[in-house]
Amino acid sequence: MNELERTLTGDSAAAPAAHILDGLDAELVHRKLPNTPHTIYQELWHLAFWQQLSLDWMQGLETPYPATASLGFPPEPDSNPENWSHLRQRFLDGTETAATLTREANRLAQSIRCTSQPGEPVRTMTVREQLESLAAHSAYHLGRIVLLRQLNQAWPPV
């Protein structure tokens, strides 16, 4: 397993994503704490949203960039939310898909088009650069999930 793959799966410098998301029930993931911008559910939904956008771009699909930052999070409040276990599995499956791409050396140097905010030009980067960006974004938000778990006295997972 290469280091980029480890970073994407969270088995590098931090706890694996699957471990971070273990042992959470629907009540806890939707619990809103004072002075925090998002719930655990919203953080993971945001991660899965951007992960899918990144995977689309790496597959040559120019999926549109959201018009506003708030569109990268689920509607407030979580009206008709996706089932937590389904969302968790969807994110972990996407993580595995991204990790698999790191083993395709010929694809890593391939240039891809990544849409930008409305009014901005389309960006071009390599698959490797997009995977690195995805890994950094995931690490940031998984860290936020760990902090939310700590604030809820639900860390480490039982």
Which residues lie below 8 Å from residue 81, measured CB to CB, with a gap of 6+? 30, 41, 45, 74, 87
Scanning the structure block, which residue is given the tokens 């089932």? 83
Is pTM, for the whole model, over 0.85? Answer: yes
pLDDT per residue as tens digits for the range 32-90:
999 999 999 999 999 999 999 999 999 999 899 898 888 899 876 656 678 999 999 99
pLDDT value for 78? 56
Q: Taking 60 as the threshold, does the pLDDT of residue 30 lie above it?
A: yes
Q: Taking 90 as the threshold, does the pLDDT of residue 151 lie above it?
A: yes
pLDDT per residue as tens digits for the range 19-29:
999 999 999 99
How far is residue 32 from each of residues 27, 37, 101, 110, 152, measured CA to CA in Å?
A: 10, 8, 35, 41, 10
CATH topology for 3-75+83-151 is: Four Helix Bundle (Hemerythrin (Met), subunit A) (1.20.120)
